[in-house]
Structure 1
Amino acid sequence: RMQSSQPHIWAAGDVAGIHLFTFSAWEQGEAAGWNATSGETRRLDYGILPRATFCDPEVGSVGLTEGQARERGFPVKTGRWEFARLPRAIIGGETEGFVKVVADADTGRILGGHVIGAEASTLVHEIAMAMKCGLTAAECGRMLHAYPTLSEGVRWAFQEAV
Structure 2
Amino acid sequence: MIIKIISFFLFIFILNINDTECDCRKLWLVGCLRYNGNPAKGATVYVNKKYFLGISQSLTKFNSDNRGCFDIKAKGYVSSKYDLYITIKYSYPDRWWLCNIRASLIFPMKITTKCANKDKIADLGRLDLITVSGVEKTCQPIHRIKKKKKNCRIKIN
Normalising by the smaller structure, the TM-score range is under 0.3
Give the structure with higher Rg (CA). 2
**Looking at both structures, which has the greater relative contact order when contacts are Cα pairs under 8 Å and sequence separation is at least 6?**
2
- Bigger proportion of residues as helix: 1
- Bigger proportion of residues as strand: 2
TM-score (norm 2): 0.25
